[in-house]
A and B are shown apart, each in its own frame.
Chain A
Amino acid sequence: MNASSVTTASGTAKAPGTELPVVTQPGVPFIEIETLRAKEFLPAAKEALSAMIAERGREDLTQPVFNWAGRNSLFPLHWGLACCAIEFAAAFGARWDAERFGIVPRSSPRQCDLMIVNGTVTWKVAHKLIALYEQMPEPKWVIAMGNCATGGGPFRTAYSVVPGVDKLVPVDLYIAGCPPRPEAMLDGILKLEELIRERKE
Chain B
Amino acid sequence: MEAEFPALVSARLGDRVAAVEVFPGTLGRVRFRAEAALDVFRSMRDDFAFDHLSMVGGIDWVDHREVFYVLWSDARRAYVILSTDLPAENPHIESATPTWPGANWHERETWEMVDIHFDHHPDLRHLLMPDGYVFHPLLRSFKLHEPEELEVKTRNV
B97 to chain A, nearest CB (A): 22
Cβ of B151 and Cβ of A159 under 8 Å apart?
Answer: no
**Number of B interface residues in the complex (CB < 8 A):** 16
Asked if B77 CB lies within 8 Å of chain A CBs, one says no
Residues in A whose Cβ lies below 8 Å from that of B4: none
User: Which residue on chain A has the smallest CB distance to residue B126?
Assistant: A124
Render B113-157 as a binary contact track against A, CB cut-off 8 A, 1 for contact. 000000000000000111001010100001011111011001001
A167 CA to B133 CA in the complex, in Å? 17
Near A by CB (< 8 A), chain B positions 69-105 give none
A167 CA to B149 CA in the complex, in Å? 13
A160 CA to B128 CA in the complex, in Å? 9
A54 CA to B129 CA in the complex, in Å? 57
Cβ of B137 and Cβ of A157 under 8 Å apart?
Answer: no
Cβ of A157 and Cβ of B147 under 8 Å apart?
Answer: yes
User: Which residue on chain B has the smallest CB distance to residue A161?
Assistant: B147
A133 CA to B144 CA in the complex, in Å? 29
A159 to chain B, nearest CB (A): 4
- Give chain B's interface secondary structure class: loop
A158 CA to B148 CA in the complex, in Å? 12
Cβ of B148 and Cβ of A163 under 8 Å apart?
Answer: yes
A159 CA to B138 CA in the complex, in Å? 10
Cβ of A152 and Cβ of B147 under 8 Å apart?
Answer: yes
Asked if A156 CB lies within 8 Å of chain B CBs, one says yes
Of A127, A159, A160, which is in contact with the most chain B CB atoms at under 10 Å from its CB? A159
A42 to chain B, nearest CB (A): 59
Cβ of A157 and Cβ of B133 under 8 Å apart?
Answer: no
Residues in B whose Cβ lies below 8 Å from that of A157: 144-147, 150
B141 to chain A, nearest CB (A): 13
Cβ of A159 and Cβ of B130 under 8 Å apart?
Answer: no
A187 to chain B, nearest CB (A): 28
Could you say which of A124, A160, A163, A167 contacts B137, with CB atoms under 8 Å apart? A160
B105 to chain A, nearest CB (A): 14
User: Which residue on chain B has the smallest CB distance to residue A152?
Assistant: B147
Cβ of A126 and Cβ of B147 under 8 Å apart?
Answer: no
Query: Contacts A123-B129, A123-B133; is A159 near B150 (CB within 8 Å)?
Result: yes
A152 CA to B146 CA in the complex, in Å? 11
Cβ of A124 and Cβ of B147 under 8 Å apart?
Answer: no
Residues in A whose Cβ lies below 8 Å from that of B128: 124, 160
A60 CA to B150 CA in the complex, in Å? 45
Query: Contacts A159-B137, A159-B150, A160-B137; is A124 near B145 (CB within 8 Å)?
Result: no
User: Which residue on chain B has the smallest CB distance to residue A163?
Assistant: B147
Render A120-153 as a binary contact track against B, CB cut-off 8 A, 1 for contact. 0001101100000000000000000000000010
B126 to chain A, nearest CB (A): 8
Would you list the 8 A-B pairs with minimal beta carbon distance, nearest first?
A163-B147, A159-B137, A157-B144, A124-B130, A123-B130, A123-B154, A156-B147, A123-B157
8 more A-B residue pairs beyond the given contacts A124-B130, A159-B135, A163-B150, with a C-beta to C-beta distance below 8 A: A124-B128, A152-B147, A156-B147, A157-B145, A157-B150, A159-B137, A160-B129, A162-B151
User: Can you sample 10 A-B contacts with CB below 8 Å?
Assistant: A127-B157, A157-B146, A157-B147, A158-B144, A159-B145, A159-B150, A163-B148, A163-B151, A164-B147, A167-B151
